[in-house]
Amino acid sequence: MPIIAKPLAALEVSRLSHPEGKQSKHLHPVGTVPGLCLQTTASGGRSWILRAKVGSKRRDMGLGSYPAVTLADAHKKARAAIDAIRTEGRDPVAEKREARAALIAKQMRDLTFAQAVEKYMGTGRMAKLRHDWQRAEWRTTLETYAVPVIGKMLVDEIGLPDIKRVLEPIWQDKNATAVKVRGRIESVLAWAIDAGHRQDAANPASKGALKQWIDDQGGATVTSRPHVAVDRMAAWFDAVGKQDGMAAVALRFLALTAVRVDNVAGARWGEIDCDARVWTIPAARMKGRAKDRREHRIPLSDEALALIDGLERREGVDLLFPSPRDKELTNAAIGKAMRTIHEKDETGFVDRDSGSPAVPHGLRASFKTWAKGKFPRDLVETALAHKVGSKTEQAYDRGDALDERRPIMQAWSDWCMGRATADNVLVIAPIKA
Question: What CATH number corresponds to the domain at position 162?
Answer: 1.10.150.130
- My answer on whether 297 and 405 are in the same domain is yes
- My answer on whether 350 and 235 are in the same domain is yes
Do 384 and 257 form a contact (C-beta atoms < 8 A)? Answer: no
CATH number, domain of 344, equals 1.10.443.10
CATH number, domain of 100, equals 3.30.160.390
- My answer on whether 129 and 100 are in the same domain is no
Decide which of 191, 216, 241 is a domain's last residue.
216
**Residue 226, in any domain of the structure:** no
H or E stretch covering 76: helix 71-88
- My answer on whether 125 and 196 are in the same domain is yes
- Residue 256 pLDDT: 97
- My answer on whether 117 and 74 are in the same domain is no
236 SS3 class: helix
Q: What is the Cα–Cα distance from 174 to 91, expressed in whole angstroms?
A: 58
- My answer on whether 136 and 89 are in the same domain is no
- Residue 136 pLDDT: 85
CB atoms within 10 A of CB 149: 16
Residue span of the structural domain in which 68 resides = 10-108
Nearest to 414, CA basis, from 276, 256, 277, 243: 256
- My answer on whether 34 and 143 are in the same domain is no
* C-alpha dist (Å) from residue 112 to 145, 197, 213, 374: 16, 9, 25, 54
- pLDDT averaged per 10 residues, the chain (length 433): 72 89 86 89 90 78 90 91 74 68 62 92 82 83 94 92 94 85 95 87 92 77 75 94 94 96 94 96 86 90 96 92 91 90 86 85 94 93 81 53 95 92 54 40
∠ CA(33), CA(34), CA(36), 5° rounding?
A: 65
246 SS3 class: helix
β-bridge mates for residue 350, sequence order: 357
User: Any residues with CB less than 8 A from the CB of 112 and at least 6 apart, and which?
Assistant: 151, 152, 153, 154, 155
- My answer on whether 202 and 244 are in the same domain is no
- My answer on whether 160 and 267 are in the same domain is no
Decide which of 108, 125, 159 is a domain's last residue.
108
- My answer on whether 104 and 121 are in the same domain is no
**Residue 280, in any domain of the structure:** yes
Do 34 and 48 form a contact (C-beta atoms < 8 A)? Answer: no
- Residue 433 pLDDT: 36
- Residue 372 pLDDT: 92
Burial of 223 (0-12, 13-18, 19+ CB in 10 A): middle
**Residue 221, in any domain of the structure:** no
Nearest to 235, CA basis, from 105, 358, 51: 358
Decide which of 74, 108, 142 is a domain's last residue.
108
- My answer on whether 259 and 328 are in the same domain is yes
**Residue 222, in any domain of the structure:** no
**Residue 166, in any domain of the structure:** yes
β-bridge mates for residue 28, sequence order: 38
- Residue 393 pLDDT: 44
159 SS3 class: coil
**Residue 343, in any domain of the structure:** yes
Q: What is the Cα–Cα distance from 215 to 239, expressed in whole angstroms?
A: 45
Number of domains in the chain: 3
Q: What is the Cα–Cα distance from 219 to 212, expressed in whole angstroms?
A: 13
Do 171 and 220 form a contact (C-beta atoms < 8 A)? Answer: yes
* C-alpha dist (Å) from residue 107 to 97, 187, 354: 15, 21, 49
**Residue 405, in any domain of the structure:** yes
- Residue 23 pLDDT: 74
**Residue 2, in any domain of the structure:** no
- My answer on whether 274 and 403 are in the same domain is yes
Q: Dihedral, CA atoms, 276, 314, 328, 246, nearest 10 degrees?
A: -90
